[in-house]
Chain A
Amino acid sequence: MGSRASRLLREEEIEEIKKETGFSHSQITRLYSRFTSLDKGENGTLSREDFQRIPELAINPLGDRIINAFFPEGEDQVNFRGFMRTLAHFRPIEDNEKNKNPSATEPLNSRTNKLLFAFRLYDLDRDDKISRDELLQVLRMMVGVNISDEQLGSIADRTIQEADTNGDSCISFNEFIKASFVVNIHICTVVFSFLS
């Protein structure tokens, strides 16, 4: 019983998470129950295997990369705070938040941060550039095994050519933002309203 109690979320923690991520009280508790249901080892943290046990993630082409995005550099476990921090990127953009604190850091779900999250999923080696190889890897994952390398290569070349403005045949973050400006950024949002 005692160990059970320690896994319940304390009020102060909820408040802290609320301030950091912007989720509401009920959303946090709901996500916490999801977190605990995923946490088979019952040690308050999730490992990669816990994520991989989700069946739909296994067939998702980007499954591995998404899982990796939850884990900070070099670590193998993510606690609830980290879990929420990553998920906070997908909250809807709230325009009124911008006016509240012009000096404060941008909220996690701002447009730039959402795009940065997506960018980091392409850019595995964190050099702030999507190289042709990284693009090829992503294309290969999305397209499957039936397409030949040359064809994928020409698509990758074309993509880079369209987006690349400074001619280094890599896509930097700014070019990434510009290339995807037509894609409505509200797409990068999961409706969390079911939780409240």
Chain B
Amino acid sequence: MPSRTVSHGSSGRLRGLFLMMVLVFLESSVFTLAFASSDQHSPTTAHSDGRKATDHGSHNNTGKAFPVLDLNYENVRVPFEISLWVLLASLMKLGFHLVPHLSNIVPESCLLIVVGLLVGGIIRGTGETVPPVLDSKLFFYILLPPIILDAGYFLPIRPFMENLGTILIFAVVGTLWNAFFVGGLLYGVCQIGTESSSILSRIGLLQCLLFGSIISAVDPVAVLAVFEEIHINELLHILVFGESLLNDAVTVVLYHLFEEFSGIGTVTLVKGFLGVISFFVVALGGVLVGVLYGILAAFTSRFTSHTRVIEPLFVFLYSYMAYLSAEIFHLSGIMALIACGAVMRPYVEANISHKSHTTIKYFLKMWSSVSETLIFIFLGVATVAGPHDWNWTFVTVTVILCLVARVIGVVGLTFIINKFRIVKLTTKDQFIIAYGGLRGAIAFSLGFLLEKDHFPEREIFLTAIITVIFFTVFVQGMTIKPLVELLAVKKKQEAKRSINEEIHTQFLDHLLTGIEDICGHYGHHHWKDKLNRFNKKYVKKCLIAGERSKEPQLIAFYHKMEMKQAIQLVESGGGIKLPSAMPSTVSMQNIQPRPPTKPAAERAIPQLSKTKEEEIRKILRTNLQRTRQRLRSYNRHTLVADPYEDGLSDLFLKKQKMFQIEKKLKEMNTYLTVPAPPPDSPTMCRARLASGKHTDFKPDQVQKGNKMCSDPQAYSIKPALNKVPMIQVDLASPQSPDSVNLLDEFGQANQQEEEEQGLMMKPPSRPREGKKPGEEDEAKDQQKLMRCLSDPGPSADEDEDGAFLP
């Protein structure tokens, strides 16, 4: 949507901005009204409950006319308020992109906090008490899981595993160091620096350590929010982000440990030892719970081929249950969620349909985005809500200590880590890692959870926590982008993963495993290889349905790439203009000597006039529509798979056709006297439909040498496009089984003799020697087809453009 507003120019943006402000004002006024009226209504709940008021006492409704329009806010109060908050958050998100230049200077998280402050201020200004919105239960059970699941499901496994040692050291040792350093020094400052009667000196060591453990954890939400906008290189991103995820275990253990200790009051060595053990239990237990649920989810997805509509639900439910189950036992819920998402992803994605995959992706992104926005707004509101107890010494010492501890921790740990890393971390990297240690809402919620009677200094803690959060988010968040530019830190490479990389990566894996085996060393590659082998042999067979369990990773990757390109092809206008960005369809440069730039490519394609292009497009659209209208009625529970209605099959054909044309043209370039017809020429349209065996079209017998077969489409376009030159392209080469087996539904007749036809669909001309491999392939491809097409979605009509969107 931002792109559309940009195209309208600045006036459009200003208009949108103005509208936005109006909406926001309206909404905040509704908010305050809601709060005001809620107070008014609460004493009169009896009145509102009596919707069937006729039964109540005589003071109700005697002599009153039947209420045509009645105001009853109390019943919908809670959902209404929740929706208002979410709406506010979403509108804010929209608004930021409309204001020019704002999103470049200030990260979104800062703006959202400011908005929260404003809303809190408005609510307080109208005299109402600000609701305690950042309730810990709400935060930990509703707001946090979507963000973590989104992170875990899309976690880049390879860089994460490669750097796992580094990440673990930063997460565990770094957090421990931070906690003890900050807590211990704070205690020292409190005891020494102030008079003995002041409130600070009454804070015990354990309380300080508890505070240290709360404040020392790097927050994944804040890190995500800020790092998302600076597009830093993958290594740094995964290091800081991984650390923020994995330090949850440490935080949980330390928090419970110190909370319990400060309740009891005595610390023994045994208890300390138990604390260490509990760390391992919490971390590994969380991961175990996550893995268990992940495997369950993968196993369930194996059987969902007939009810594709609820596939995404399984993913979300199992993950949420993993989180909740871990929380039951006080294990690390975040690690459970990450483990669940990461484990289930490869298997679930092999099983579910393409649309479910898109659904999962977009739901996760949507929920995590809204959650993040809400969290920051609530932080702002909670700041206004208080209660606060500002203590200059405590707060400033905390902020300074946090910074110092982080820097020392990162530098010291990197010095040790670099001895074991192949790619060393440079000073620049260290700076970014230290600077990216942002604190966020988790710290606040943990502080909020403290009980007032155990911790009389709770307000001081909360104030300090909020100050640190504000400092890191505002100061560090705002300045990290210019610093990244200034230090010329490597940015994220935008290159997409190509088939070359995939092959090369696997090749190198095998090579290095071999070298390690020759040296007799059981290193990193050896174990990775063993895990892959185990995965291929046993796990994949259990968890992936059907033939896909045997699919090698390379082939799966290739298919994914082909699918993406097919979708891109249609999005770019059906291939009439070949975008030079797509390598495998850049064909014409093989004919032209030099340069293979865009003008050359366009020169080779005949320049159809605009009207003709439009006609071709219209024809294609009507064709696709017409096939859809032939759908039988269906119900939600049994989605009838009609292969013709999904445009994906057409895309595959189109793409394969283009590939074939380009190959043929390359071989025939010296004989080319007329340019090739555009890939969407009427020959192709007709050919695609004419060879249909099960369609209702029933074309007449295709005549040899005559491309004008009589199907309805041909008649409509023939007069308009007979001027387009066509060439007979001899498709002697066997087509790839991908495209062909998709066509098995179209035509299976042995059409060897129709080779002179030119652009006609054909089954593979390979000899049918081994029936078995052929059958396997066909079965596999059929299944591939069914996976793509078996799930038309809830409604065929709105599916029209849905299939073509990535």
Tell me the A12-34 residues at the B interface (CB within 8 Å).
Answer: 31, 34
User: Does A150 contact B505, Cβ atoms closer than 8 Å?
Assistant: no
Q: Using Cβ atoms and an 8 Å threshold, which residues of chain B touch A144?
A: 552
A79 within 8 A of B: no
> Nearest residue in A to B547 (C-beta to C-beta)?
A146
Given contacts A162-B498, A190-B512, contact A150 B504 (CB under 8 A): no
Q: Chain A interface secondary structure, helix, strand, loop or mixed?
A: helix
B626 within 8 A of A: no
Tell me the B507-541 residues at the A interface (CB within 8 Å).
Answer: 507-508, 510-521, 523-526, 529, 533
Q: Interface size (B, Cβ < 8 Å)?
A: 55
CB distance from A113 to the nearest CB of B (A): 14
B280 within 8 A of A: no
Tell me the A129-149 residues at the B interface (CB within 8 Å).
Answer: 138-139, 142-144, 146-148
Q: Which of B493, B508, B518 has the most CB of A within 10 A?
A: B518
Cβ-defined partner of B508 (8 Å) among A34, A154, A187, A195: A187
Q: Using Cβ atoms and an 8 Å threshold, which residues of chain B touch A180?
A: 500-501, 504
Given contacts A54-B518, A159-B499, contact A118 B507 (CB under 8 A): yes
Q: Using Cβ atoms and an 8 Å threshold, which residues of chain A touch B510?
A: 60-62, 142
> Nearest residue in B to A163 (C-beta to C-beta)?
B500
User: Does B515 contact A187, Cβ atoms closer than 8 Å?
Assistant: no
User: Does A193 contact B517, Cβ atoms closer than 8 Å?
Assistant: no
User: Does A190 contact B523, Cβ atoms closer than 8 Å?
Assistant: yes
- Cα of A56 to Cα of B525 in the assembled complex, Å: 12
- Cα of A158 to Cα of B590 in the assembled complex, Å: 14
Given contacts A150-B734, A184-B423, contact A66 B518 (CB under 8 A): yes
- Cα of A143 to Cα of B519 in the assembled complex, Å: 25
Q: Mark B410-430, 1 if CB is under 8 A from A, else 0.
A: 000000000010110000000
Q: Using Cβ atoms and an 8 Å threshold, which residues of chain B touch A5?
A: none
Cβ-defined partner of B515 (8 Å) among A66, A162, A179, A193: A66
User: Does B516 contact A190, Cβ atoms closer than 8 Å?
Assistant: yes
Cβ-defined partner of A147 (8 Å) among B521, B552, B590: B552
B777 within 8 A of A: yes
Q: Using Cβ atoms and an 8 Å threshold, which residues of chain B touch A161?
A: 583-584, 586
Given contacts A34-B519, A56-B526, A180-B504, contact A66 B736 (CB under 8 A): no
Cβ-defined partner of B554 (8 Å) among A62, A155, A189: A155
A121 within 8 A of B: yes
A51 within 8 A of B: yes
Q: Using Cβ atoms and an 8 Å threshold, which residues of chain B touch A158?
A: 499, 558, 583-584
Q: Using Cβ atoms and an 8 Å threshold, which residues of chain A touch B515?
A: 66, 87, 90, 190
Q: Using Cβ atoms and an 8 Å threshold, which residues of chain B touch A92?
A: 422
Given contacts A34-B519, A51-B518, A183-B505, contact A162 B554 (CB under 8 A): no
CB distance from A142 to the nearest CB of B (A): 6
B371 within 8 A of A: no
Q: Using Cβ atoms and an 8 Å threshold, which residues of chain A touch B764?
A: 150
Cβ-defined partner of B512 (8 Å) among A155, A179, A188: A188
- Cα of A41 to Cα of B659 in the assembled complex, Å: 55
CB distance from B510 to the nearest CB of A (A): 5
User: Does B511 contact A118, Cβ atoms closer than 8 Å?
Assistant: yes
- Cα of A10 to Cα of B747 in the assembled complex, Å: 74
- Cα of A62 to Cα of B516 in the assembled complex, Å: 13
User: Does A121 contact B500, Cβ atoms closer than 8 Å?
Assistant: no
Q: Using Cβ atoms and an 8 Å threshold, which residues of chain B touch A143?
A: 552, 554-555
A104 within 8 A of B: no
Q: Using Cβ atoms and an 8 Å threshold, which residues of chain B touch A66?
A: 511, 514-515, 518
B776 within 8 A of A: yes
Q: Interface size (A, Cβ < 8 Å)?
A: 54
Tell me the A30-75 residues at the B interface (CB within 8 Å).
Answer: 31, 34, 37-38, 51, 54, 56-57, 59-63, 66
Q: Mark B477-509, 1 if CB is under 8 A from A, else 0.
A: 000000000000000010101111101111110
User: Does A146 contact B550, Cβ atoms closer than 8 Å?
Assistant: yes
- Cα of A148 to Cα of B737 in the assembled complex, Å: 8
CB distance from B223 to the nearest CB of A (A): 23
A167 within 8 A of B: yes
CB distance from A161 to the nearest CB of B (A): 5
A153 within 8 A of B: yes
User: Does B517 contact A56, Cβ atoms closer than 8 Å?
Assistant: yes
Cβ-defined partner of B423 (8 Å) among A146, A147, A186: A186
> Nearest residue in B to A187 (C-beta to C-beta)?
B508
CB distance from A89 to the nearest CB of B (A): 9
A182 within 8 A of B: yes
A1 within 8 A of B: no
User: Does A167 contact B590, Cβ atoms closer than 8 Å?
Assistant: yes
B166 within 8 A of A: no
- Cα of A192 to Cα of B524 in the assembled complex, Å: 11
CB distance from B349 to the nearest CB of A (A): 20
CB distance from B160 to the nearest CB of A (A): 14
Tell me the B627-674 residues at the A interface (CB within 8 Å).
Answer: 659
Given contacts A61-B510, A150-B737, contact A194 B521 (CB under 8 A): yes
CB distance from A22 to the nearest CB of B (A): 15
- Cα of A87 to Cα of B520 in the assembled complex, Å: 12
Tell me the B728-762 residues at the A interface (CB within 8 Å).
Answer: 734-738
> Nearest residue in B to A194 (C-beta to C-beta)?
B521
B67 within 8 A of A: no
User: Does A139 contact B500, Cβ atoms closer than 8 Å?
Assistant: no
Cβ-defined partner of B507 (8 Å) among A57, A142, A184: A142
A151 within 8 A of B: yes
User: Does A188 contact B508, Cβ atoms closer than 8 Å?
Assistant: yes
User: Does A57 contact B518, Cβ atoms closer than 8 Å?
Assistant: yes
CB distance from B584 to the nearest CB of A (A): 5
- Cα of A92 to Cα of B418 in the assembled complex, Å: 13
Q: Using Cβ atoms and an 8 Å threshold, which residues of chain A touch B558?
A: 155, 158
CB distance from B424 to the nearest CB of A (A): 9
Q: Using Cβ atoms and an 8 Å threshold, which residues of chain B touch A54?
A: 517-518
Q: Using Cβ atoms and an 8 Å threshold, which residues of chain A touch B520?
A: 34, 37
User: Does B552 contact A62, Cβ atoms closer than 8 Å?
Assistant: no
Q: Using Cβ atoms and an 8 Å threshold, which residues of chain B touch A63?
A: 514
- Cα of A57 to Cα of B516 in the assembled complex, Å: 10
CB distance from A99 to the nearest CB of B (A): 16
User: Does B493 contact A182, Cβ atoms closer than 8 Å?
Assistant: yes
Q: Using Cβ atoms and an 8 Å threshold, which residues of chain A touch B550?
A: 146
- Cα of A57 to Cα of B529 in the assembled complex, Å: 12
> Nearest residue in B to A167 (C-beta to C-beta)?
B590
User: Does B735 contact A142, Cβ atoms closer than 8 Å?
Assistant: no
User: Does A60 contact B504, Cβ atoms closer than 8 Å?
Assistant: no
Q: Using Cβ atoms and an 8 Å threshold, which residues of chain B touch A142?
A: 503, 506-507, 510, 552, 554
CB distance from B267 to the nearest CB of A (A): 40
User: Does A62 contact B500, Cβ atoms closer than 8 Å?
Assistant: no
Q: Using Cβ atoms and an 8 Å threshold, which residues of chain A touch B583?
A: 158, 161-162
User: Does B513 contact A151, Cβ atoms closer than 8 Å?
Assistant: no
User: Does B504 contact A57, Cβ atoms closer than 8 Å?
Assistant: no
User: Does B525 contact A153, Cβ atoms closer than 8 Å?
Assistant: no
- Cα of A58 to Cα of B757 in the assembled complex, Å: 49
B773 within 8 A of A: yes
Given contacts A147-B555, A186-B422, contact A31 B508 (CB under 8 A): no
- Cα of A31 to Cα of B519 in the assembled complex, Å: 7
User: Does B422 contact A191, Cβ atoms closer than 8 Å?
Assistant: yes
CB distance from B29 to the nearest CB of A (A): 53
B766 within 8 A of A: yes
What 9 additional pairs, Cβ within 8 angstroms, besides A38-B518, A59-B533, A158-B584? A63-B514, A66-B514, A90-B515, A122-B507, A139-B503, A143-B552, A158-B558, A182-B497, A188-B512
21 examples of A-B residue contacts, CB within 8 angstroms: A31-B519, A51-B518, A56-B526, A59-B533, A60-B513, A66-B511, A66-B514, A118-B507, A118-B508, A142-B552, A142-B554, A148-B737, A151-B737, A154-B736, A158-B558, A162-B498, A162-B584, A182-B501, A189-B512, A191-B422, A191-B524
* Interfacial residues, chain A to chain B (CB-CB below 8 A): 31, 34, 37-38, 51, 54, 56-57, 59-63, 66, 87, 90, 92, 118, 121-122, 138-139, 142-144, 146-148, 150-151, 153-155, 158-159, 161-163, 167, 179-180, 182-184, 186-195
Lowest 5 A-B CB distances belong to which pairs?
Answer: A56-B517, A66-B514, A179-B500, A62-B510, A154-B736
